[in-house]
Structure 1
Amino acid sequence: MSRGGFLARLKERTRDRDKAISLTSYFAQLKAIHRWGLARPQGLSVIRFRLRARVGRRIVRRIAR
């Protein structure tokens, strides 16, 4: 499904939608996302189990040692 199709379908829904969050919750989430974005990147070399990660269109595979 295309992104446009997903958004159109989402707008059609009128029942069973999530309730709006409070401004306090919104700003707490925004602050957490900002802090996460500022954190140093973590290396994948420390992972010790099978892993598939997507980097753009490329899939990176890592096998545990």
Structure 2
Amino acid sequence: ADPGPLAVFGPGAADAVRRTHSFPHTADIMVNSSHDPADGEVLAFEEQIGSHGGLGGAQSRPFLLSPL
């Protein structure tokens, strides 16, 4: 069986897309880039230092930076 195009993003990727699709104000078209699994770098659509809120890569690991 074909694992599908989201398999490279991990076992919860398809469920995350289905969950997002269920939101009342979700986009008509959702576009997700790829990431390099070797270093976790996300391939952005424009020149930027980082990104968040997508599938795969280091941006899916939350952290808190606090001065306290």
Structure number with the higher helix fraction is 1
Structure number with the higher strand fraction is 1
| The structure with more radius of gyration | 1
TM-score, normalised by the number of residues in structure 1: 0.23
TM-score, normalised by the number of residues in structure 2: 0.22
Structure of higher RCO (CA pairs closer than 8 Å, 6+ residues apart) = 2
